Amino acid sequence: MRDVNKVTLIGRISTDISTADLNEWKTKVVNFSVATNRSFKNSKWEKVDEAEFTRCVAFWKLAEIISTKLKKSSKVYVEGRLRTRSYEDKEGVKRYVTEVVVNDVTFC
């Protein structure tokens, strides 16, 4: 059986979309977060609302489309895969980031 790394999100863009050009690859990249909400009843039968914010990144033509068509608070359907990467911050500490690499987006 094959492994599967697939993420599906339906929510609202919760940040301004940041764009950058990667000159070494001659491509565009966009970064944004998607907020998804859920409600449930806790052990005291009280309604609890919870929000999850997921970092997303898109490249190439899809990045161009996202940067021109979407904005903060836009409702979206996002499909992609999880990726964890590392980087060093200004103090030299190694940090890890998990994000969704977007391969399809639908504007709701």
Exposed e or buried b per residue across 19-52, where buried means at least 16 C-beta atoms within 10 angstroms of its C-beta: eeeeeeeeebbbbbbbeeeeeeeeeeeeeeeeee
Q: Are 73 and 13 in contact (CB under 8 A)?
A: yes
pLDDT tens track, the chain, 108 positions: 889 999 999 999 988 888 888 777 678 889 999 999 988 888 889 888 889 999 999 998 888 888 888 888 889 999 999 999 998 888 989 999 999 999 988 887
E-assigned strand segments in the chain = 7-13, 18-22, 27-41, 47-59, 75-88, 94-107
What phi-psi label fits residue 27: left (phi over 0), alpha (psi between -120 and 50 degrees) or beta?
beta
Greatest alpha-carbon span in the chain = 56
Query: What is the predicted pLDDT for the residue at 25?
Result: 64
Question: Which structural domains are found in the chain, ordered by start?
Answer: 7-107 (2.40.50.140)
CA atoms of 49 and 10, how far apart (whole Å): 16
